[in-house]
Structure 1
Amino acid sequence: MKRGSLVCCLLGGLVLTSLSGCGYKNDPVAPQALVPVPIDDLRYELTDNGAVLHWSYPTETVSGEDLTEIDSFMLYRAEVPAADYCDTCPVPFDSPIKVDGGVIPEREGKRATSYDIGFLRPGHKYFFKVLSRTGWLTPSADSNQVSFTWETPPAVPQNLVAEASDSMVSLQWQPVSEHLDGSTADAIKYQVARKEDKGSFKNIGELLTMPEYVDTEVNGGHTYTYRVQALSEYEGDMVAGEFSTPYQAEVIDLFAPATPENVTTVRTANSVKIFWDQGDEADLAGFRIYRRLGNEDAPIMIGEVKMPYNIYEDTEAPDENMYVYYSVSSFDESDPPNESERSAEVEAE
């Protein structure tokens, strides 16, 4: 072989080697076992200075495997002048903001995070979405998208008060007539939010035009906490202000459970056993047993049993030579408990 031909062969081999080692490749596909499921609970809360985004950590992959840690979140934000907004146009999201992740607790299996949003301009509409990833090449699909229009919000409702009865809570607050910057606010509406006992706040009812609300969806023996925000309309969107200071109301249960029915007795050699039918009230806590001797005018309570028992054994009952009568009442979980009327007396046989 001639020297020139040999050089050409060597060069060709080098070119082929180079091409095989550095040739163009498609993007690698992330293993499904590492890709988190999309976040589906992204939400926002407006504040005096902007907004706060909240969402939960995903706890499993798209293939159903448990996740122990999220490396990071990628938060996307878009800003559009409200006057130029087009609901059929694509949303012009900016480059994502990296938000650090962390370990997902094993015991609770759930973790949430928040992100403060600032630098909002009046008269603009804002859009947000977020995705999570367990590594550089394992991003999830997009979360649900949230949006709101930012304008100078209404002032915070003041002097929220609540009056509770056994079946409702009546709320009142001072009407809002200004924005936070002191300018006049017209056609203000209000949103009431409530949490029960140690639960989380949830909006209840429709938007209100008057600074008052009556909550009839309450149950006795529970504590309810309320807060109110004012909203004004701008370019077809509702601009929400910050929530008021919460107010707590305790609904007192004044209703006793139903009186026990079908009270019966069975005398044994050393006692009298008393039986009755249970009620079906959700807050039924137990029963009280009363005994009256034939020569007595009023019964006395001789015992108490808690749910789910509906039997009591009177080991101190007099023998069959003396008349003895029994009756039973029920009581609920209130403090102090509400007690029903006693059942009709039944003679021990």
Structure 2
Amino acid sequence: MKSGYCARRAGTIFLLVTVLVAGGCGFKTDPVPPASIVPVPIDDLRYNIDDKGVELNWTYPVKTVRGTDLVDISAFDVYRAVVALDEVCDTCPIPFGEPLEVPGGETIEAKKPRTAVYQTSLLRPGHKYFFKVRSRNSWWAASGDSNIVSFVWALPPVAPSGLNAEVADSRVTLNWQPVTSLVDGSAVEGDISYQLFRSDEGKEFEPLGEALATTRFSDSRVSNGRTYFYRVQSLLDYQGHEVTGGVSEAISAAPVDQTPPPPPVGVAAVQTDDGVKIVWEPADEDVAGYRVYRRMAEQRQPELIGEVAAPYSLYVDAQPPATARSYYSITALDQATPPNESDFSREATTR
């Protein structure tokens, strides 16, 4: 009996030791950072290409994934992938390599989120490049991936020159010189197209429609009196891939209202003790005022004798000529700067 008890006790001790040893073994994993310090992913990664290479830029994240404020960023990790054009696969995983570190810093400068910049000239013609960025608060607190940007590198075309704008009523017509050379001065071999960009009242530039094969465009999605900024970029078709070229200098344009209001109606002239009283029917809301004209019987063209601000529609000619009959007509002025003036109304005279 005693020997059986000892055997059972020894077995129990062995099992307990085995469990304790097994519980102390396992694989180590990276620590999971608290959400209060992990930056939100960057969502505005973009690039600019010139003859020297490519410049990436993006906005510093100012919030964590939990929504708390971020005061600074330790660093940014820039990931790059390079694929030969004959090996590009739209459905394959992008072969990003090890990241390059870009120093971080405070997220706010002059009360605005800072912009980070990364430049590289290590580019090979005939290859497609992919980039993405992560921000870090430490080696173990990294954000998710940014949006991915990609481009094909070849010697780019020069920026379009001679960008010009012609303004009209609710319309801006743009034209520029065709691009015929690359940035090294050699002739373009391939089709060139153009991408217009527009900024409304100084806001961020955004693409204006699709790329164009021509050097002229009429923008009718504008409002009179507002200032718009335009620039145009050249695009080269390189072996079936788009190569972005230079961007022109920005120009501004403000379309103007050139449509006059209709002439006033219901004009009548009545002789009173105070002079000749001229009345007419008030016009619509676009009218800012009226001009009153007088013509003598022997005159061919009327003369301006006064102005009336809307909504009033009455004018008194206190000193009409006494020797001949006077004929009165009215024009309407809209609220444009300078105002558009309507045609003359029908003439009215005293009886």
**How high is the TM-score relative to the length of structure 1?**
0.67
The yes-or-no answer on 1:34 pairing with 2:37 is: yes
Alignment of 1:19-168 (within 5 A): 25-105=28-108, 108=111, 110-168=113-171
Q: Secondary structure at the match of 2:217?
A: strand
Return the offset for 1:180: 2.6
Q: How many Å apart are 1:236 and its aligned residue?
A: 2.9
Compared with structure 1, are the counterparts of its residues 196 and 256 closer, same or farther at alpha carbon in structure 2 (3 Å cutoff)? Answer: farther
Shift of 1:244: 1.6
Structure-1 residue corresponding to 2:210: 206
Tell me, in whole angstroms, the C-alpha distance in 1 between the residues paired with 2:290 and 2:160.
52
Correspondence for 2:188 among 184, 190, 215 = 184
More deviation, 230-239/130-139: 230-239
- Give me the CA root mean square deviation: 3.8
Instruction: Extract unaligned runs of 5+ from structure 1.
Output: 1-15, 260-275, 291-297, 305-309, 313-328, 342-349
Q: How does 1:163-312 map to 2 (within 5 A)?
A: 163-181=166-184, 182-254=186-258, 301=308
Bigger Cα displacement from structure 2, 243-252 vs 143-152: 243-252
8 A contact 2:37–2:137 mirrored in 1: yes
User: Equivalents in 1 of 2:221, 2:288: separation in Å?
Assistant: 28
Which structure 2 segments of 5+ residues have no match? 1-19, 264-281, 292-304, 313-331, 344-351
Identity %: 44
Give the conservation status (yes or no) of the 8 Å contact 1:258–1:330.
no
* Structure 2 SS opposite 1:102: strand
| 1:293 aligned partner | none
TM-score w.r.t. length of structure 2: 0.67
Secondary structure of residue in 1 paired with 2:211: strand
Shift of 1:245: 2.4
- Specify whether residues 289 and 213 from structure 1 end up closer, same or farther in structure 2 by C-alpha distance, changes over 3 A only: closer
CA distance in 1, matches of 2:138, 2:48: 29
CA contact (8 A) 1:83 1:235 kept: no
What amino acid maps onto 1:198 in structure 2? G
Relative distance call for 1:30 and 1:171 in structure 2 (3 A) is same
Q: Shift of residue 338 of structure 1?
A: 6.6
Query: Aligned-pair distance for 1:124?
Result: 0.7
Superposition deviation, residue 299 in structure 1: 7.7
- Give the aligned residue type for 1:155: V
